[in-house]
Structure formats: structure tokens, C-alpha cells
A and B are shown apart, each in its own frame.
Chain A
Amino acid sequence: MLNYVIKRVGIAIPTMLILIILSFLLMHAAPGGPFTSDRPLPAQVLANIEAKYGLDQPLWRQMINYVWGVVTQFDFGPSFKYKDRTVNEIIAQGFPITLKYGFLSFIFAIGVGIPLGAIAAIRQNTWIDYLAVGVSIGAQVLPNFVMAPLLVIVFTLWLGWLPGGGWGGGSWEYLIMPVIALSTSYMASIARITRSSMLEVLNTNYIRTAKAKGLPTKTILLRHALKPSLLPVISYLGPAFVGLITGSVVIDIYFSTGGMGYFFVNSAMNRDYSVMMGITILVGFLTIMFSLVIDLLYAWVDPKIRY
């Protein structure tokens, strides 16, 4: 097991380096730059600015300097767009926000999705099943960019119960709508995956054996059926978790949370190279880390899997 973890971490390092180099090159290949504007800067001014940010150096040197700064000092550089902030500060400010609403959405999505799917499978072809499937399909077809403004219209404009946006230090009234809007489609996917996987498990021989042995239904379901049926759910949860905690541009835009998703997309539009790189590296790192966690979870869930 330990060998496996060390091997995976060993692979992660070159993977991250390839990610950094590719992103760096792709980003610089995009037309325009951070200081391209509809009011083109006079050559002298542009030269002064490029010199300040080191953009006057050849690309390979810029890349080496960048990677060196990241590796040795964990310094992602200054933002080209928000001139009084560094990338580290932007991430330090935006990531906790995204992490909070993302993590809550994750809890909500699995907390509702797994039981919903499981109940639907257990009570297959009853009204409970139809209702659960109906709810999850309904949630799936309502994307967050439709859900978010709908929630705001109902809970802010009509009922006046919740603030229409902002973060308010992350207090609960600011969290409800972002969490619901972000988690519903994940919740729906989890419910559907759980249901189909559970149905499959319930039809296996060992469950039939368990039933024949006269085990109580509760034990069969919780001890023998649920755990194996979660395997496909877990493969889904890894990337879903990273997606949730690294932010959603839709949530950030509709609810003005100040989260990282908006910075990610906006930095690409603004050619804010350093912010884009910083967030790409963070998302890449989390993705690699969580796929390792998921792989380790497999071994726990399914004794057949050994590393």
C-alpha cells in the first residue's frame, strides 16, 4: 500500500510539470496579452510594464523563472490585472470561500443523493421509485445557471427571505442558495448512479444467499448491498469533489460570492497569465491528489482490489 502511494506521488510530480508547461505554452499561444486593450498603450509605456512583469524576456526564460518561483518559494507571482494583489493572495481569499460552499454542496449532494437512489432501488417500480427518479431527473435538467436566478427571484425578490448575493463572511443565509444551486445536478447524478448500481447489486447471487440465510432486510441492505453499490458512485465523486471545491463560475457570478471560479474563467479572458497558471496548478494538484484518495477508497470498499 505504502509503495503504491509513493509510486503514485512519484508519477504526480512529472504530471504536474507537464501540466504547468502545457498550460504555460497554451496560454501564451492565445492571441493578445494581459496589457492588450482597446486603448493600446504607447510603446514606451508597454515596454516599461512588460519589463516590470518580466514579459520582455524570452518565453523559455519566463517559464523557467515561473516554475522556479513556484517550486522554491511557492510564489505564483503578481496578478497582471488586479495590480495590488498577488496570485497567492487571490487564491488565499477565493479558495476558502469556494471550499466552503463546495464542500457543503458535496455533503448535500451525497447526503440526499445516495439515500434517494438507494430507496428508489429498494422500492423499485413503486411510487417512491417514480418520485425519486422524477426528482432526480428534474434536478438534472435544471442546470445551475437556470436554478440560480430562479432561486434569487423566489427567495429574494418574492419572499424576501434571503439576500440575493454576497458572501457575508459565509454565514448561513448567504450559503443556502449557492449550495442548492450548485448541488442539485450532482445530487441527481449521484442518485441515479446509486439507484442503478444498487439494483444490480440487489440481483446478485450473494444477496440472494443472504436473503435465503434469513438475514434481516436492514442488515442485507446496509452491510451487504450498500457498500459494493457505492463503487461506481465513488469513481464519480472524485472528480465531482474537485469540481465542487474549486468553484463554479456560475455560482460566483450569480451570487457574487468572491469565490475562485470566477477568477479562473475571468483570468483566461483577461490573459491574466499568473492568476490563470496559479489556479490551474491548484486544480491540477487537487485532481491528482483526490484521484489517489479515491483509488485508496476503492481498496477499502472492495476487498477484491489490492495494491
Chain B
Amino acid sequence: MKKELQMRYFAKSLAGGVLLAATLASTTVLAAGTHPTTGEALADDQTFTYSMLDEHSSIDPQIVEDVSGSELVRDLFEGLMNQDADGNLVPGVATGFTTNEAKDVYTFTLRKDARWSDGKRVTAGDFVYAWRRLADPATASPYSWFADIMSLEGVGDVMSGDADPSTLGVSAIDNHTLEVRLTASLPYFALMTTHASTFPSPQWAIEEHGDDWTKVGNIVSNGAYVLTEHIPNERSVRERNTAYWDNDATILDKVVALIINDENTDLTRYLAGELDKGTVPSGQYLRLKAEYPNQATSFPRLCTYYYSFNVSESGQEALKDIRVRQALSYAVDRSVITDKILQAGQTQAFTFTPGATAGFDVPEVDFGVMTQAERNAKAKELLADAGYGADNPLSIDLLYNTSESHKKIAIAISQMWKETLGVTATLANIEWKTFLQVRGKQDFDVARGGWCGDYNEASTFLDLLTTKSGYNDGKYSNAEVDALMAEAKTLSDTKANYTRVEEILATEMPVIPIYHYAGVFMLKENLKGWPYGNVEQNWYSRNLYKIAD
């Protein structure tokens, strides 16, 4: 493609007569249409069209709770800090921050040229307003718990309505200095300001329009794009915000999100050229990779697929025996799941935390380094030790939410248990919301789970298996795990604690880690700048661009 371009310009220069002058001239012409850093020739039409599986829940930064809504919010609004293509922290509205030694007071310096789309300046007060709004019970934000895990001073009382939102530990020292006071030492606090719920919101627009403030025509935003069209369940369009402080560096002019509820239709429309980024339907990655090697993409995600054992009062007695849990975990041949069923770059899981997590080295847990034959042999031995076998067969229920892919995995695993251990698993699939209720009430033996990290740090996974976690469906409880996780919150080097927790989990096996997710999608070859290295997949349209064909 590049060669062709060079040829075209070469021909152009010849036609101009004077070779040197013409080459210089064509370089000047090109300058407007080239990428400022890479020098690639840019396409004339800088419109990026992608698909979303479902309509976003909201684009109000303090209300949004779904992934696709957060993608829109990251384009429309800008928080204190951003992430780069590798997930590193880079300045956003804040040019930087300082913190005290205890890491419980953070001071952010805001850039002076940041503006809202209506021309007003973005001030520290806008963040104070937004954060108070997040915690305020009157907002009823489903993400207000994020303010809680940010450990903002006074957040508990504000959320329960016992204190006024103005008592929250965030204040504007002046228009461009924001001070945040925390009740705990959080070395990674700045990382949390890349989360959509911490983005500023325009008080004047919210007060004027109420719940309608996010509608086209009413919305005022401070990000690289503004919302220009929204047809619910069909499309939303965002276009360049000329008031954005770094607008000159933005290349994509327009971003169109189409709602396509069916992944096969999505792929067809991608192949028909209607989309720049499309879905890979499950089970089709290998075929698409063979046919479109430069478009079908797979990369590691910060997510784990696992089965929980119910070790609570209501659980089956057998599953409270560590040997039984180990046997069931060892007998799962994870390579069959990743290489034969999913086939899209997922990796086998022997730890709960994915290896792609920042600041986490996958510890060599015993059963992870064995061969499957060794694991199977060990599994038989463990189960026999626990007193189960042909004369005392073990039967368990395996619960999962209705989905073709969960079903395939459940069938494969129940077969592995049957063949290796003689354990009978009865499969039960239930509709999503019912499943959540049943699992949440510990009305199961073994249940499917999936978890994606909220931020790129191992605690977002390991906290799940602490006693007080609301997401600990199997009600696993280990005092040492609790202590190690609590201590990790105060340490600057947490690796040793996380490794130890994983070792405990590998021994006590409260969950069976099965695989770590892969991000899979189709992306047109001329769309550049996709942040594959950002495992959380926090992408910003202003970093993307289209090169000329």
C-alpha cells in the first residue's frame, strides 16, 4: 500500500517538471493528511463505525454502568487522568498530581485550557460536584460503590444519607487545584480516576435539564467528542469537540456506534463493509483468522472464567473436603476448553488472577506445572482418599446461566469428571437473573462464574475470595487470605502477598479457575492506533486514525 502511494507521488512530481521542487510541494500537501507522529498518509474520511451488542444504559458519567456506555463516556468526557495504549497513566484534565507520604491525600493540578463543549472552563469545582453527585443517595447511582472503594473521606455517611454530600473528602483549593482526602492509604488512587464514574459533570446543564441533560442538544461534555445523534437501539453518533483542549491532535472526525444485537449479523455487516470494527461470533475465530489474517484479532483480557464450590452451610458436605475440590479441579483438562471448544486465543487458568495483570507474576502452583495425565492420576488418588469411588459415588449439581458456550464447557467438564473420577454431574441451566439469585443464595453445589477486573491490579480479582466480599458466591473464608489482602492495601510492593494468596487458593481450591478470556474482534486494516496493550480495553477514539487505502 505504501509503495503504491510513493509511486503516485513520484508520478505527481514528474508531472510537475522540477523533481525536487515538486517533491517538496507534495510533501507540504501531504502534511495536512499525514499522521503527525508516524507520517502515515491519512484517509480523507475519518469516520470510525463500530458495533455494540446492546444499547448503552446511560452516558451520564455518574450513572453509567455498562462497558459500551463507558466507551461512549470516555470519548464524551475526560477525567483527571487517562490511559495510554499500554494502560499506563497519562495526564487528562489534570496535568499531574502530588501525594503525601501516607498516600491518603492527593492533589491534582488541572490544566487551564480545558473547556466544556459550550466554551466554559473545566474547573476543580466540576470534579467536586461530580464526585459528590456520585456518592449522593439522591443520584441513586449504581456505581456509587466506586466512591466507597476510592475510600473518600466521609463517603459512608454521605451514601447512607447521614451526612451532607459537601462533607465528602474532595475540595477545590482553587479553580485548577483539586484536593482529595482518603481514609486509607491507596498507592494506586490516581489509576482510579480513569474510571468513567469519576469524570466531571456540568452542574449548570444538569440543573437546567434534569434527567434529560444527556440528550442530544442538552448535553455539555468536556471530552474529545460531542454527542450529535442518538437513535435508541439503532445508533449514536459523536463528532469532534472543537472546544476540546487537545482537539488539534484528534484525527477521527466522527465515531458511529451501531447497535447490532446478533453477533452473526454483526459479522455479515462487517464483511459487507458497513463496520470498521465487528464481532467474531463464538467458534468462528479460527476460520476468520485463516480468511482475514490481518483483521481477526485476539489478545489477552483481564477476565477469568471459573467454577465456584459452595462451601457454605447449605453446600454439600463432600465439597467442604479440600481433597474433593482439588480432585475436581485437577480432572479438568483446560486445554480441551481453550483449544478445542473456544479456539480464540483464550489461555488455560491455574490461578484466579490472569497473568496479564500489572504487577502480578503468575506463581508456579503445583497443579499448573503437572501434565494432564499426572493431574488425572493425582485427582483419582485424592478422591479415593476422601472416600469416594465406585462403592460411594459422588454426585453434584453444576449450575450455569443459559448460553451455548457455557453449555459446551459444562458438558465437556462433566464428561471429564465422569471419565476420570466417576463423578456424576447433573447440569442445570437457568436464565441469567434467576441464575444470579440462585447463586447469590448459595443454592448450588458448583456454579459458573466469570469476573473481569475493574482496574489493572490483582486485588480486583483476589478481593473476591475474601470473607467479606459481596461477590464471594461460594462463601469461602480463610483468615490468612483476608489478612494478606488487607495488608496488601497498605504495601507499596504487593507481589509477595498476592503470590501467597494464589498458593493458598491452589491448595484449598475454593474455585476451579478454567480459562482467562481473550478479546476477539474484527478490525479493518486501515484503522490504526487500537490499544491492544491495554488489557482493560479502555480505548479512546481520539487516539485512533484511519490511513489512506
Q: Which residue of A31, A81, A83 contacts B438 across the interface (Cβ within 8 Å)?
A: A31
Q: Please state if A256 and B471 are interface contacts (CB–CB under 8 Å).
A: no
Q: Please state if B433 and A157 are interface contacts (CB–CB under 8 Å).
A: no
CB closest residue in chain A, given B65: A37
Q: Please state if B233 and A94 are interface contacts (CB–CB under 8 Å).
A: yes
Q: Please state if B142 and A164 are interface contacts (CB–CB under 8 Å).
A: no
Q: Does A85 contact B (CB under 8 A)?
A: yes
Q: Which residues on the B side are within 8 Å of A94 (C-beta)? A: 232-233
Q: Please state if B234 and A164 are interface contacts (CB–CB under 8 Å).
A: no
CB closest residue in chain B, given A97: B234
CB distance from A147 to the nearest CB of B (A): 13
Q: Does A216 contact B (CB under 8 A)?
A: no
Q: Which residues on the B side are within 8 Å of A45 (C-beta)? A: 141-142, 144-145, 159
Q: Please state if A48 and B144 are interface contacts (CB–CB under 8 Å).
A: yes
Q: Please state if B211 and A84 are interface contacts (CB–CB under 8 Å).
A: yes
Q: Please state if B137 and A51 are interface contacts (CB–CB under 8 Å).
A: yes
Q: Please state if A164 and B268 are interface contacts (CB–CB under 8 Å).
A: yes
Q: Please state if B268 and A256 are interface contacts (CB–CB under 8 Å).
A: no
Q: Please state if B148 and A42 are interface contacts (CB–CB under 8 Å).
A: yes
Q: Please state if B137 and A84 are interface contacts (CB–CB under 8 Å).
A: no
* Contact indicator per residue, chain A 61-100, by CB within 8 Å of chain B (1) or not (0): 0000000000000000010011111000010011000000
Q: Does B259 contact A (CB under 8 A)?
A: yes
CB distance from A145 to the nearest CB of B (A): 10
Q: How far is the CA of A37 from the CA of B67 in the complex (A)?
A: 14
- Given A41-B145, A84-B211, A149-B268, are A167 and B57 also a contact pair (CB < 8 Å)? no
Q: Which residues on the B side are within 8 Å of A93 (C-beta)? A: 231-232
- Given A84-B212, A84-B214, are A256 and B232 also a contact pair (CB < 8 Å)? no
Q: Which residues on the B side are within 8 Å of A263 (C-beta)? A: 233
List CB contacts (< 8 Å) of A1-39 with chain B: 30-33, 35-39
Q: Does A176 contact B (CB under 8 A)?
A: no
CB distance from A82 to the nearest CB of B (A): 6
- Given A45-B142, A166-B234, are A256 and B265 also a contact pair (CB < 8 Å)? yes
Stretch at the interface among B247-255, B269-277, B518-526: B269-277
CB distance from B61 to the nearest CB of A (A): 12
Q: Please state if A49 and B145 are interface contacts (CB–CB under 8 Å).
A: no
Q: Does B500 contact A (CB under 8 A)?
A: no
Q: Does A262 contact B (CB under 8 A)?
A: yes
Q: Please state if A256 and B260 are interface contacts (CB–CB under 8 Å).
A: yes
Q: Please state if B145 and A167 are interface contacts (CB–CB under 8 Å).
A: no
Q: Does B543 contact A (CB under 8 A)?
A: no
Q: Please state if A262 and B233 are interface contacts (CB–CB under 8 Å).
A: yes
CB closest residue in chain B, given A78: B211
Q: Which residue of B159, B214, B261 contacts A262 across the interface (Cβ within 8 Å)?
A: B261
Q: Does A296 contact B (CB under 8 A)?
A: no
Q: Does B431 contact A (CB under 8 A)?
A: yes
Q: How far is the CA of A259 from the CA of B233 in the complex (A)?
A: 8
List CB contacts (< 8 Å) of A189-229 with chain B: none
Q: Which residues on the A side are within 8 Å of B142 (C-beta)? A: 35, 41, 45, 49
CB closest residue in chain B, given A167: B234
Q: Please state if B231 and A167 are interface contacts (CB–CB under 8 Å).
A: yes
Q: Please state if A38 and B450 are interface contacts (CB–CB under 8 Å).
A: yes
List CB contacts (< 8 Å) of B206-231 with chain A: 211-212, 214-215, 231
Q: Please state if A51 and B140 are interface contacts (CB–CB under 8 Å).
A: yes
List CB contacts (< 8 Å) of B122-171 with chain A: 137-138, 140-142, 144-145, 148, 156, 159-161
Q: How far is the CA of A145 from the CA of B539 in the complex (A)?
A: 34
* Contact indicator per residue, chain B 254-296, by CB within 8 Å of chain A (1) or not (0): 0000111110110011011010000000000000000000000
Q: Does A269 contact B (CB under 8 A)?
A: yes
Q: Please state if A256 and B259 are interface contacts (CB–CB under 8 Å).
A: yes
- Given A45-B144, A258-B231, are A253 and B60 also a contact pair (CB < 8 Å)? no
CB closest residue in chain B, given A254: B265
Q: How far is the CA of A144 from the CA of B404 in the complex (A)?
A: 21
Q: Which residue of A37, A156, A165 contacts B260 across the interface (Cβ within 8 Å)?
A: A165
CB distance from A192 to the nearest CB of B (A): 30
- Given A83-B57, A84-B214, A258-B232, are A269 and B433 also a contact pair (CB < 8 Å)? yes
* Contact indicator per residue, chain B 437-455, by CB within 8 Å of chain A (1) or not (0): 1101000000001100000
Q: How far is the CA of A149 from the CA of B264 in the complex (A)?
A: 8
Q: Which residues on the A side are within 8 Å of B262 (C-beta)? A: 253-254
* Contact indicator per residue, chain B 230-251, by CB within 8 Å of chain A (1) or not (0): 0111110000000000000000
CB closest residue in chain A, given B261: A253
Q: Which residue of A83, A269, A270 contacts B63 across the interface (Cβ within 8 Å)?
A: A83
List CB contacts (< 8 Å) of A104-161 with chain B: 149, 152-153, 156-157, 160
Per CB-CB distance, the 7 closest pairs between chain A and chain B, nearest first, are: A32-B433, A258-B234, A52-B140, A164-B269, A48-B137, A258-B233, A31-B434
Known A-B contacts: A84-B58, A152-B265, A256-B261. Give 15 more (CB < 8 A).
Answer: A31-B437, A32-B436, A38-B436, A48-B140, A49-B142, A51-B137, A51-B140, A82-B58, A83-B58, A93-B231, A156-B269, A164-B269, A165-B274, A258-B259, A269-B431
